[in-house]
Homo-oligomer: A and B are copies of this chain.
């Protein structure tokens, strides 16, 4: 029987986070001691490890909830789990593209900044210059 602290240590999770997962129904309510403290079995550790691994892969708690359900039903098709992972992959790839575009603009901004007065600061200038960005939203009739 494992205490919540041991579970936390073994999975790299904060104690409060484990209680939070229980609260939102992601983990089963464990048994309690006479004094009311939680005591976990190995299966609880496995389940928490599954959740944490999913989080490390960027899955939302909702997606993890689905994956847990699939994992509990070994007779169902694998294709649902696959499709959840596919969606996650697409999202990750989109995020990478956006961040790379952002990286480029930040680099350009910083490269052009020569450490002078803020009056000439390229960083601030880029932020101030809305000549392009405003017209993205409204270029009709004004």
**Chain A interface residues (CB < 8 Å from chain B):** 9-12, 46, 49-50, 52-54, 56-58, 67, 70-71, 73-79, 81-82, 84-86, 88-89, 92-93, 95-96, 99-100, 102-103, 105-107, 109-110, 113-124, 126-130, 133-134, 136-138, 142
Chain B residue nearest to A129 (CB atoms) is: B53
For this chain, the copies found in one complex come to 2
Residue of B49, B50, B77, B134 near A10 (CB, 8 A) is: B134
Are B127 and A110 within 8 A (Cβ)? no
A9 CB contacts on chain B under 8 angstroms: 137-138
Are A123 and B56 within 8 A (Cβ)? no
- With both chains docked as a complex, state the minimum distance between the C-beta of A115 and any C-beta of chain B, in angstroms: 5
Q: A10-B138, A78-B121 are in contact. List 8 more A-B contacts (CB 8 A).
A: A10-B134, A11-B134, A54-B127, A58-B99, A58-B102, A81-B121, A85-B109, A85-B113
Residue of B58, B78, B103, B123 near A96 (CB, 8 A) is: B103
A95 CB contacts on chain B under 8 angstroms: 99
Are B100 and A52 within 8 A (Cβ)? no
